[in-house]
A and B are shown apart, each in its own frame.
Chain A
Amino acid sequence: MTGCLGDRALIRLSEDEGRPSERQHLATCQLCTSRAQALGRDVALVATVLRGDPPPALAPAVTVPVSWWVPAAALVGAVLLIVTWKVPASHDDAPLSITEVAQTTFAVEDSVESGVDRADLVALDDVLDASWDESEEQWP
Protein backbone atom coordinates (compact mmCIF):
# COMPACT_ATOMS: atom_id res chain seq x y z
CA MET A 1 0.00 0.00 0.00
CA THR A 2 1.31 3.43 -0.87
CA GLY A 3 1.73 6.11 1.78
CA CYS A 4 2.71 3.66 4.49
CA LEU A 5 4.20 5.09 7.61
CA GLY A 6 7.93 5.39 8.21
CA ASP A 7 9.72 4.09 11.29
CA ARG A 8 9.79 7.54 12.85
CA ALA A 9 6.03 7.86 12.56
CA LEU A 10 5.53 4.38 13.98
CA ILE A 11 7.69 5.22 16.98
CA ARG A 12 5.77 8.46 17.45
CA LEU A 13 2.51 6.56 17.36
CA SER A 14 3.85 4.01 19.82
CA GLU A 15 4.33 6.96 22.17
CA ASP A 16 0.64 7.82 21.76
CA GLU A 17 1.51 10.72 19.54
CA GLY A 18 1.57 11.34 15.84
CA ARG A 19 -0.66 13.23 13.45
CA PRO A 20 -4.34 12.36 13.06
CA SER A 21 -3.67 11.33 9.46
CA GLU A 22 -0.97 8.90 10.61
CA ARG A 23 -3.25 7.50 13.25
CA GLN A 24 -5.98 7.07 10.69
CA HIS A 25 -3.63 5.33 8.31
CA LEU A 26 -2.46 3.00 11.02
CA ALA A 27 -6.03 2.07 11.82
CA THR A 28 -6.74 1.07 8.23
CA CYS A 29 -3.44 -0.33 6.98
CA GLN A 30 -2.79 -3.92 7.90
CA LEU A 31 0.85 -3.74 6.93
CA CYS A 32 1.54 -0.72 9.13
CA THR A 33 -0.44 -2.27 11.96
CA SER A 34 1.71 -5.38 11.88
CA ARG A 35 4.85 -3.24 11.63
CA ALA A 36 3.74 -1.24 14.67
CA GLN A 37 3.10 -4.44 16.57
CA ALA A 38 6.52 -5.76 15.60
CA LEU A 39 8.08 -2.51 16.80
CA GLY A 40 6.33 -2.83 20.14
CA ARG A 41 7.46 -6.43 20.51
CA ASP A 42 11.05 -5.55 19.67
CA VAL A 43 11.22 -2.71 22.16
CA ALA A 44 9.64 -4.88 24.85
CA LEU A 45 12.09 -7.66 24.09
CA VAL A 46 15.11 -5.38 24.37
CA ALA A 47 13.79 -3.87 27.60
CA THR A 48 13.22 -7.34 29.01
CA VAL A 49 16.72 -8.43 28.15
CA LEU A 50 18.19 -5.26 29.69
CA ARG A 51 16.15 -5.72 32.86
CA GLY A 52 17.34 -9.26 33.26
CA ASP A 53 20.58 -11.04 33.80
CA PRO A 54 23.19 -10.37 31.19
CA PRO A 55 24.92 -13.17 29.33
CA PRO A 56 28.11 -14.57 30.87
CA ALA A 57 30.67 -11.82 30.93
CA LEU A 58 33.15 -11.70 28.15
CA ALA A 59 36.80 -11.42 28.97
CA PRO A 60 37.39 -7.88 30.13
CA ALA A 61 39.58 -5.84 27.89
CA VAL A 62 41.27 -2.73 29.14
CA THR A 63 41.11 -0.02 26.57
CA VAL A 64 42.27 3.53 26.42
CA PRO A 65 39.61 5.62 24.78
CA VAL A 66 41.09 7.62 21.97
CA SER A 67 40.04 11.21 22.24
CA TRP A 68 41.25 14.72 21.59
CA TRP A 69 44.22 14.43 23.90
CA VAL A 70 45.98 11.77 21.84
CA PRO A 71 46.84 14.00 18.86
CA ALA A 72 47.44 16.89 21.27
CA ALA A 73 49.95 14.81 23.23
CA ALA A 74 51.64 13.71 20.00
CA LEU A 75 51.95 17.34 18.91
CA VAL A 76 53.43 18.42 22.25
CA GLY A 77 55.84 15.49 22.11
CA ALA A 78 56.95 16.44 18.62
CA VAL A 79 57.51 20.07 19.65
CA LEU A 80 59.53 19.00 22.70
CA LEU A 81 61.60 16.69 20.56
CA ILE A 82 62.42 19.49 18.14
CA VAL A 83 63.19 21.98 20.91
CA THR A 84 65.43 19.63 22.83
CA TRP A 85 67.09 18.10 19.80
CA LYS A 86 70.83 18.63 19.95
CA VAL A 87 72.99 18.21 16.90
CA PRO A 88 76.34 16.64 17.90
CA ALA A 89 78.85 19.44 18.39
CA SER A 90 80.98 19.93 15.31
CA HIS A 91 84.58 21.11 15.60
CA ASP A 92 84.93 21.98 11.95
CA ASP A 93 84.59 25.66 12.64
CA ALA A 94 86.89 25.77 15.67
CA PRO A 95 89.98 27.92 15.09
CA LEU A 96 93.21 25.97 14.84
CA SER A 97 96.52 27.10 16.14
CA ILE A 98 99.38 27.45 13.69
CA THR A 99 101.19 24.62 15.45
CA GLU A 100 98.33 22.26 14.83
CA VAL A 101 98.28 23.27 11.18
CA ALA A 102 101.95 22.71 10.81
CA GLN A 103 101.96 19.39 12.58
CA THR A 104 99.12 18.15 10.48
CA THR A 105 100.43 19.47 7.22
CA PHE A 106 103.96 18.30 7.77
CA ALA A 107 103.42 15.18 9.72
CA VAL A 108 106.62 13.36 8.92
CA GLU A 109 105.59 10.06 10.34
CA ASP A 110 102.35 9.98 8.39
CA SER A 111 104.19 10.89 5.24
CA VAL A 112 106.73 8.14 5.75
CA GLU A 113 103.94 5.67 6.10
CA SER A 114 102.52 6.90 2.86
CA GLY A 115 105.77 6.10 1.04
CA VAL A 116 107.54 9.45 0.81
CA ASP A 117 111.31 9.23 0.99
CA ARG A 118 112.49 10.04 4.52
CA ALA A 119 115.58 11.96 3.32
CA ASP A 120 113.38 14.34 1.37
CA LEU A 121 111.26 14.92 4.40
CA VAL A 122 114.26 15.71 6.52
CA ALA A 123 115.41 18.18 3.90
CA LEU A 124 111.97 19.68 3.86
CA ASP A 125 112.06 20.06 7.61
CA ASP A 126 115.38 21.79 7.34
CA VAL A 127 114.03 24.24 4.78
CA LEU A 128 111.18 25.05 7.04
CA ASP A 129 113.57 25.52 9.88
CA ALA A 130 115.69 27.74 7.61
CA SER A 131 118.75 25.67 8.28
CA TRP A 132 119.20 24.31 4.83
CA ASP A 133 122.26 25.31 2.97
CA GLU A 134 121.41 25.72 -0.68
CA SER A 135 125.02 25.19 -1.72
CA GLU A 136 125.27 21.80 -0.18
CA GLU A 137 122.56 20.05 -2.08
CA GLN A 138 120.84 20.36 -5.39
CA TRP A 139 117.33 19.37 -6.08
CA PRO A 140 116.99 16.96 -8.90
Chain B
Amino acid sequence: VARAVAVANPHDDYEALYRQHGPRVRRLCRLVLLDADEAEDVAQEVFLKLLREHRDRAGSVAWGPWLTRVAVNACRDRRRSRWWGWWRTSGEEPALDGVAERRATPEDETLDAEHRARIWAAFRRLPVRQREVFALRHVEEWSTEDTARILGVETGTVKRHLFRAVRHLRGALGSVR
Protein backbone atom coordinates (compact mmCIF):
# COMPACT_ATOMS: atom_id res chain seq x y z
CA VAL B 1 0.00 0.00 0.00
CA ALA B 2 2.80 2.38 0.90
CA ARG B 3 4.41 1.77 -2.47
CA ALA B 4 1.12 2.38 -4.27
CA VAL B 5 0.60 5.54 -2.32
CA ALA B 6 4.09 6.75 -3.10
CA VAL B 7 3.74 6.01 -6.82
CA ALA B 8 0.37 7.70 -7.09
CA ASN B 9 1.49 10.79 -5.23
CA PRO B 10 5.21 11.07 -5.43
CA HIS B 11 5.39 14.65 -4.21
CA ASP B 12 3.26 14.68 -1.14
CA ASP B 13 3.35 13.12 2.26
CA TYR B 14 1.39 9.91 1.86
CA GLU B 15 4.36 7.78 2.55
CA ALA B 16 5.18 9.85 5.60
CA LEU B 17 1.63 9.37 6.85
CA TYR B 18 1.89 5.65 6.29
CA ARG B 19 5.18 5.43 8.14
CA GLN B 20 3.92 7.58 10.95
CA HIS B 21 0.53 5.96 11.50
CA GLY B 22 0.87 2.48 9.97
CA PRO B 23 2.18 0.65 13.05
CA ARG B 24 -0.31 2.42 15.30
CA VAL B 25 -3.28 1.64 13.07
CA ARG B 26 -2.23 -2.00 12.77
CA ARG B 27 -1.84 -2.32 16.51
CA LEU B 28 -5.22 -0.73 17.14
CA CYS B 29 -6.89 -3.09 14.65
CA ARG B 30 -5.23 -6.07 16.29
CA LEU B 31 -6.29 -5.00 19.74
CA VAL B 32 -9.87 -4.52 18.61
CA LEU B 33 -10.16 -7.57 16.36
CA LEU B 34 -7.79 -9.89 18.24
CA ASP B 35 -6.85 -11.49 14.96
CA ALA B 36 -3.56 -10.61 13.29
CA ASP B 37 -4.57 -11.56 9.73
CA GLU B 38 -7.89 -9.77 9.84
CA ALA B 39 -6.22 -6.76 11.39
CA GLU B 40 -3.67 -6.64 8.59
CA ASP B 41 -6.46 -6.74 5.98
CA VAL B 42 -8.38 -4.00 7.72
CA ALA B 43 -5.28 -1.83 8.10
CA GLN B 44 -4.68 -2.10 4.35
CA GLU B 45 -8.28 -1.09 3.69
CA VAL B 46 -7.77 1.91 5.94
CA PHE B 47 -4.71 3.06 4.03
CA LEU B 48 -6.44 2.56 0.71
CA LYS B 49 -9.15 4.87 2.00
CA LEU B 50 -6.44 7.29 3.03
CA LEU B 51 -5.09 7.15 -0.51
CA ARG B 52 -8.46 8.12 -1.99
CA GLU B 53 -9.29 10.68 0.67
CA HIS B 54 -5.94 12.38 0.62
CA ARG B 55 -6.33 13.28 -3.05
CA ASP B 56 -9.38 15.37 -2.32
CA ARG B 57 -8.71 16.67 1.14
CA ALA B 58 -4.97 16.99 1.50
CA GLY B 59 -4.07 19.56 4.09
CA SER B 60 -7.58 20.00 5.40
CA VAL B 61 -7.76 17.01 7.69
CA ALA B 62 -6.13 15.99 10.95
CA TRP B 63 -5.07 12.60 9.69
CA GLY B 64 -4.31 11.02 13.06
CA PRO B 65 -7.88 11.16 14.37
CA TRP B 66 -9.25 10.50 10.88
CA LEU B 67 -7.22 7.32 10.50
CA THR B 68 -8.17 6.17 13.98
CA ARG B 69 -11.86 6.75 13.35
CA VAL B 70 -11.72 5.00 9.98
CA ALA B 71 -9.80 2.10 11.51
CA VAL B 72 -12.33 1.64 14.30
CA ASN B 73 -15.22 1.75 11.84
CA ALA B 74 -13.47 -0.67 9.49
CA CYS B 75 -12.95 -3.06 12.40
CA ARG B 76 -16.63 -2.81 13.24
CA ASP B 77 -17.58 -3.50 9.64
CA ARG B 78 -15.29 -6.51 9.63
CA ARG B 79 -16.84 -7.86 12.80
CA ARG B 80 -20.29 -7.40 11.35
CA SER B 81 -19.38 -9.14 8.14
CA ARG B 82 -21.18 -12.36 7.53
CA TRP B 83 -18.41 -14.82 8.09
CA TRP B 84 -16.59 -13.11 10.90
CA GLY B 85 -18.58 -14.65 13.66
CA TRP B 86 -18.66 -18.13 12.21
CA TRP B 87 -15.14 -19.37 12.33
CA ARG B 88 -12.25 -17.52 13.69
CA THR B 89 -9.15 -18.45 15.52
CA SER B 90 -9.25 -17.87 19.20
CA GLY B 91 -6.79 -18.63 21.91
CA GLU B 92 -4.02 -17.13 19.82
CA GLU B 93 -2.62 -13.90 21.11
CA PRO B 94 -2.40 -11.21 18.47
CA ALA B 95 1.03 -11.16 16.93
CA LEU B 96 2.42 -7.66 17.11
CA ASP B 97 5.72 -8.20 15.38
CA GLY B 98 7.00 -4.93 14.08
CA VAL B 99 4.45 -2.97 16.02
CA ALA B 100 6.22 -2.60 19.32
CA GLU B 101 7.57 0.89 19.31
CA ARG B 102 9.42 1.15 22.58
CA ARG B 103 12.22 -0.52 24.38
CA ALA B 104 11.63 -2.85 27.29
CA THR B 105 11.16 -0.97 30.53
CA PRO B 106 12.12 -2.19 33.99
CA GLU B 107 8.43 -2.95 34.49
CA ASP B 108 8.51 -5.23 31.48
CA GLU B 109 11.48 -7.08 32.79
CA THR B 110 9.81 -7.76 36.10
CA LEU B 111 6.82 -9.25 34.35
CA ASP B 112 7.32 -12.81 33.32
CA ALA B 113 5.60 -14.45 30.40
CA GLU B 114 2.87 -15.92 32.54
CA HIS B 115 1.84 -12.53 33.87
CA ARG B 116 1.84 -11.01 30.42
CA ALA B 117 -0.30 -13.88 29.20
CA ARG B 118 -2.70 -13.24 32.05
CA ILE B 119 -3.03 -9.57 31.13
CA TRP B 120 -3.55 -10.42 27.46
CA ALA B 121 -6.13 -13.03 28.39
CA ALA B 122 -7.99 -10.53 30.55
CA PHE B 123 -7.95 -7.99 27.74
CA ARG B 124 -9.26 -10.58 25.30
CA ARG B 125 -12.16 -11.31 27.60
CA LEU B 126 -13.33 -7.70 27.60
CA PRO B 127 -16.43 -6.87 25.57
CA VAL B 128 -15.44 -5.26 22.31
CA ARG B 129 -16.61 -1.77 23.27
CA GLN B 130 -14.50 -1.86 26.42
CA ARG B 131 -11.54 -3.04 24.38
CA GLU B 132 -12.01 -0.17 21.97
CA VAL B 133 -12.25 2.36 24.77
CA PHE B 134 -9.26 1.04 26.71
CA ALA B 135 -7.11 0.73 23.60
CA LEU B 136 -7.91 4.27 22.48
CA ARG B 137 -7.71 5.93 25.87
CA HIS B 138 -4.78 4.18 27.49
CA VAL B 139 -2.83 2.37 24.76
CA GLU B 140 -3.18 5.03 22.07
CA GLU B 141 -3.47 7.76 24.70
CA TRP B 142 -6.28 9.75 23.17
CA SER B 143 -8.15 12.01 25.56
CA THR B 144 -11.57 10.94 26.83
CA GLU B 145 -13.20 13.53 24.56
CA ASP B 146 -11.24 12.38 21.50
CA THR B 147 -12.03 8.77 22.30
CA ALA B 148 -15.72 9.65 22.46
CA ARG B 149 -15.48 11.53 19.16
CA ILE B 150 -13.67 8.67 17.44
CA LEU B 151 -16.18 6.11 18.67
CA GLY B 152 -19.17 8.37 18.04
CA VAL B 153 -20.46 8.14 21.60
CA GLU B 154 -20.90 10.44 24.58
CA THR B 155 -17.99 11.02 26.94
CA GLY B 156 -20.10 9.55 29.73
CA THR B 157 -20.32 6.31 27.77
CA VAL B 158 -16.55 6.27 27.36
CA LYS B 159 -16.08 6.75 31.11
CA ARG B 160 -18.54 4.01 31.92
CA HIS B 161 -16.81 1.51 29.62
CA LEU B 162 -13.43 2.65 30.83
CA PHE B 163 -14.35 2.08 34.44
CA ARG B 164 -15.54 -1.45 33.71
CA ALA B 165 -12.49 -2.24 31.62
CA VAL B 166 -10.08 -0.95 34.24
CA ARG B 167 -11.85 -2.82 37.02
CA HIS B 168 -11.70 -6.05 35.02
CA LEU B 169 -8.07 -5.64 34.03
CA ARG B 170 -7.02 -4.74 37.57
CA GLY B 171 -8.67 -7.94 38.70
CA ALA B 172 -6.37 -9.82 36.35
CA LEU B 173 -3.43 -7.93 37.79
CA GLY B 174 -4.27 -9.01 41.30
CA SER B 175 -1.82 -11.86 41.37
CA VAL B 176 0.76 -10.05 39.26
CA ARG B 177 1.43 -7.30 41.73
* Partner among B89, B93, B107 whose Cβ is within 8 Å of the Cβ of A62: B89
Asked if B120 contacts A49 (CB within 8 A), the reply is yes
Check B105 for interface membership: any CB of A closer than 8 A.
yes
Asked if A54 contacts B96 (CB within 8 A), the reply is yes
Can you list 8 residue pairs at the A/B interface with Cβ under 8 Å?
Answer: A11-B159, A43-B138, A46-B119, A52-B100, A54-B94, A54-B95, A57-B93, A63-B91
Specify the chain A residue showing the minimal Cβ separation from B113.
Answer: A55
> How far does the alpha carbon of A15 sit from the alpha carbon of B108 in the complex, in Å?
24
Categorize the interface residue count of chain A. Answer: 20 to 34
Q: B residues within 8 Å of A by Cβ?
A: 27, 31, 85-97, 100-102, 104-105, 107-108, 111, 113-114, 116-117, 119-120, 123, 134-135, 138-139, 144, 159, 162-163, 166-167, 169-170, 173, 176-177
Q: Which residues of A contact B167 (CB under 8 A)?
A: 7
Q: If the complex has contacts A45-B173, A46-B169, are A55 and B120 also in contact, measured as CB distance less than 8 A?
A: yes
Minimal beta-carbon separation of B29 from chain A (angstroms):
13
Q: Which residues of A contact B166 (CB under 8 A)?
A: 11, 39, 42-43
Check A53 for interface membership: any CB of B closer than 8 A.
yes
Minimal beta-carbon separation of A34 from chain B (angstroms):
13
Q: If the complex has contacts A49-B111, A55-B117, are A42 and B100 also in contact, measured as CB distance less than 8 A?
A: no
Asked if A47 contacts B139 (CB within 8 A), the reply is yes
Asked if B173 contacts A55 (CB within 8 A), the reply is no
Minimal beta-carbon separation of A51 from chain B (angstroms):
6
> How far does the alpha carbon of A48 sit from the alpha carbon of B176 in the complex, in Å?
14
Asked if A15 contacts B159 (CB within 8 A), the reply is yes
> How far does the alpha carbon of A42 sit from the alpha carbon of B177 in the complex, in Å?
9
Check A128 for interface membership: any CB of B closer than 8 A.
no
Minimal beta-carbon separation of A97 from chain B (angstroms):
60
Asked if B100 contacts A45 (CB within 8 A), the reply is no
Check A72 for interface membership: any CB of B closer than 8 A.
no
| Contact bitstring A23-52, B, C-beta under 8 A = 1, else 0 | 000000000000000110011111111111
